Structure 1
Amino acid sequence: MRTPDDRIAELMAAALAGELTASEAAEWEALRRRRPDVEDEFRELAALSGRLREGDVTWIPPRDADALGDRILRAVDAEAVSRATVGTAPATPARGPRRWIAPLVAAACLAAGVAIGVSWPDPAVTTPSGPPGTLGAIEPVDLNGVPDGVGIEADLVAHTWGTETVVEATGLDVGATYEVVLIDESGVEYSAGAMLGSEVPIECRLNAAVMRTEAVRLEVRSEDRSILAQADLPEA
C-alpha cells in the first residue's frame, strides 16, 4: 500500500529531474519547510546529481535479460543441489533497512542523464547506524506476548520530528483495527496510528509525536484496547 514516503519519493525524484508541476512545486516547498530531514536528503542527492553531470560517466549496456534469467536459475539449482548434498538448511535472510533513500539515489542518477550498472554501490549502506535514538537508524524491537497464529515485527526509526514505527504483521483479524502506541517514562501515551487487519501481509509506517529518547515502551493494541504485543524499549 502507498505510504507518505511514497509521495515524498515521487516529489523528490520530480524535483531532481526538474519536472514538478506548479501544484507539485508548491507541495514540495511546503514539505521541505516542514521536514528538515527531507530537505537534508534532497540537498545530498542534488549534490550527487551535480557531480554525476560533471563527471565522466559513460553508458553501461544492459546485459541480455533472458541470459541473466538463465544464469539465476542455474545458480539456484546449483545451490539447491549443494544444500541437499551437505544436508544443510538455507539460512534465514536478515531483515534489511526499509528506507526510501535507495530509489531516490537512482532518481538522482537518472536526473543527471546516466545509467547505473550492476557495479553501482548499494545506496542502502548509507543508512545511519548506532545505538537507540540515533537519527535515521533502524532499531529492531523485540515484541512479547504475540498470540499464536499472529506474526508481528516492528522497527523504530528516530527522527527530529518524532518516532517512526515500521510494522509488519500477519494473521490479524480481517477488518479489525489495531493501534500502535508509544509510552514515555511518565506514562503519557502517544498514538502512532492504527492499521486494519488484512488477509495479506501488512507493512505500514506509523508516526508518533514523541522523541525516541523519551519513549520507553511500545504496545500494539486490539479494538478492545487489550495488549496484543508489547516491548520495553532500551534507554536511548
Structure 2
Amino acid sequence: MSTHRELREQLGVYALGHGTPAERAALCAHLDGCADCRAELAALAPLRDRLALADPDRLDDVPAPPAGLGDRVLAGIAAEQTAGRAAVVPLRRRRWVAAAAAAGIAAAGFGVGWLVRPVPEPPPLEPVAVQVAVPQVEASADVVPHTWGMEVQLHGAGFTPGEVYRAQVTEDDGRVVPAGEFLGTGEAEMVCNLNSSVLREDAASFAVLDSSGAVVLTSSL
C-alpha cells in the first residue's frame, strides 16, 4: 500500500510529462491495474492543458489597474465631497467610499492575475448509507476521496446541544483512526467536514460516538 501511495503522489508529475523513464514505466504499469489512479489522472488532464496556456515569464508580473481608474475614483470622491457641502454626508459614508475605491483597485489587480491560474475541478461526492442508533438523530453523509486521506461530509440534526461528538474511521485491517470532533446543535441542521488520514480504498466504515463513548451512527464503506 505504501507503494500505491507513492505512485499516486506522482500522478501530477506524470500528467505533465515529467519524471525519469523508470518512474514513468513503473507508474504506467500501476495504472494498468488501478482504476482509482486512472480516474484521478483523467481528472488532472484539464489542468495540464490550462497550464500549457500560462506564460511562466508573466506569473510574477504585478497587473496594472485599468487606465483611468485612479482618475475616476478621485473624481467620484470629489463629487461626493461637493455634494456633502449641500447636504451633510456622514463621515462614516465618506470613509466607506474611500475604502470601496481602494478595494476596487486591489480587486482589479487581483482579478487580472487570477485569470492566468488554473481552477481545479471540485472533488467528487460519494453518498453513503448511514445507520442511526439514536431515535432523535437524523443524518446523511457523503465521502470525498483525497490523495492525503478521506473526508466525510456529515449533514445532521438532533445531536444534543453542546455535547462533544467524536468521529472515527475503521480501516480494513481493523485499525481505528480519529476523524475529528464536533458540538451538537440540537434541532438546528448542521454540516460537518470530518477529515481522516485513511485513504478511501482502505476504509471499511466510519462512526460517530457521543461523549460517553456510545455509538450514535455508523456507515459501512
Alignment TM-score, normalising by the size of structure 2: 0.46
Larger radius of gyration: 2
